[in-house]
Amino acid sequence: MTDRYAVIGNPIAHSKSPLIHSAFAAQTSQDISYERILAPLDGFAEVAQSLAEQGYQGVNVTVPFKFDAFNFCDFKTPQAMRAGAVNTLKFTNHGVYGTNTDGDGLVRDIRHNLGVDIEGKRILLLGAGGAAEGVLQPLLAQLPAALVVANRTLDKAEKMVRKCKAGEVQVATCAYTELPETYFDIVINATSTGLSETALPIPAVYAAHCLAYEMMYGRDTLFMQHARAAGASVADGLGMLVEQAAEAFFYWRGVRPATQAVMDMLRAQ
Ligand code: ATR
């Protein structure tokens, strides 16, 4: 019997997850179906519960439900606990399991697909919302030399940094206007400014050979345009999208799909 999966979000019509998971399934000969499901803004738990009762094996969870999904699970992986949010649920006879594959997806895209080491590098993380929080701890686990979180609302950055486990890594917070120029090796935009085409008021923070990574995908944002003009190499979040999906597929099916062909397919569209 075909195993059923879905992605729940609001909005959801734009989601590329069905395409990605269908490609993974074809490549690994897994018999699954995968749908998009729109949940009302206050109705995540009801929709997830109903899917579990209908025999779905699992769901991906996207904006704005990753915190609802965190509260919905019975058991959480360390990745979910560190992020404080869940993007993948697995329904089993003994309860709902939740994990978060976003951070590992970003790290894998930067290291394996873009060929950039994080260890020993100076990292700037722009933003302190859910997207930033989801990737902060996985970035620290790669042992960068230093990581600075900058955010419009500085308190939020400070709160996020106070909660994280920095270990040996120097972690600091900073206002946008106080950032040092030409200092960072990797700059990650985890703000939602790409959606509104707002420019972040940051100086030219990019060191030579800097990677500027936009976590959004599908458009050349102002962040990408400014970083490119300042001489940085630029990447969008399409690789992260595919890598986080591959981690979710592995979590459900125990099989790791190859990602390059799927990224090429999406880029060609
Ligand atoms: P997400 O889950 O996508 O991270 P979020 O939790 O609403 O969404 O966080 C959005 C992030 O984008 C925050 O860091 C936010 O800054 P504030 O914490 O100061 O609100 C940032 N952001 C959104 N619009 C912005 C703007 N016009 N200028 C600067 N930062 C912006």
Q: Which domains does the chain show, CATH number per domain?
A: 3-100+240-268 (3.40.50.10860), 103-236 (3.40.50.720)
pLDDT above 90 (res 1): no
Cβ neighbours of residue 23 under 8 Å, at least 6 residues apart?
A: 257, 261, 262, 265
Q: Which atom of ligand 1 is nearest to the CA of 153?
A: 19
The residue with tokens 């790409």 is 194
Which residue of 87, 152, 154 sits with most ligand 1 atoms within 8 Å of its CB, as the best mutation to test the pocket?
152
Protein residue whose Cα sits closest to atom 21 of ligand 1: 191
251-265: average pLDDT: 97
Q: Which atom of ligand 1 is nearest to the CA of 156?
A: 18
218 C-alpha to center of ligand 1: Å?
Answer: 19
The percent of residues in the chain predicted with pLDDT above 70, rounded, is 100
41-98 tens-digit pLDDT:
999 999 999 999 999 999 999 999 999 999 999 999 999 999 999 999 999 999 999 9
Query: Using omega within 30 degrees of 0 as the cis cutoff, is the peptide bond preceding 201 cis?
Result: no
Report the catalytic residues: 66
Q: Is 127 in the pocket of ligand 1 (CB under 6 A)?
A: yes
pLDDT above 90 (res 246): yes
136-154: average pLDDT: 97
Cβ neighbours of residue 44 under 8 Å, at least 6 residues apart?
A: 8, 61, 65, 68, 69, 72
The overall average pLDDT reported for the chain is: 97
Q: Is 62 in the pocket of ligand 1 (CB under 6 A)?
A: no
153-201 tens-digit pLDDT:
999 999 999 999 889 899 999 999 999 999 999 999 999 999 898 999 9
pLDDT above 90 (res 247): yes
pLDDT above 90 (res 267): yes
pLDDT above 90 (res 232): yes
**Which of these, 229, 149, 161, lies nearest to 191 by C-alpha position?**
149
Q: Which atom of ligand 1 is nearest to the CA of 133?
A: 4
At 6 the pLDDT is 98
Query: Strands 88-92, 95-99: parallel, antiparallel or unpaired by DSSP?
Result: antiparallel
7 C-alpha to center of ligand 1: Å?
Answer: 23
Q: Is 17 in the pocket of ligand 1 (CB under 6 A)?
A: no
Please state the pTM of the whole predicted model: 0.95
Which residue of 191, 216, 240 sits with most ligand 1 atoms within 8 Å of its CB, as the best mutation to test the pocket?
191
Instruction: Cite the beta strand spans of 71-194 per DSSP E.
Output: 75-76, 88-92, 95-99, 122-126, 146-150, 170-174, 184-189
At 105 the pLDDT is 98
Per DSSP, the three-state class of 18 is helix
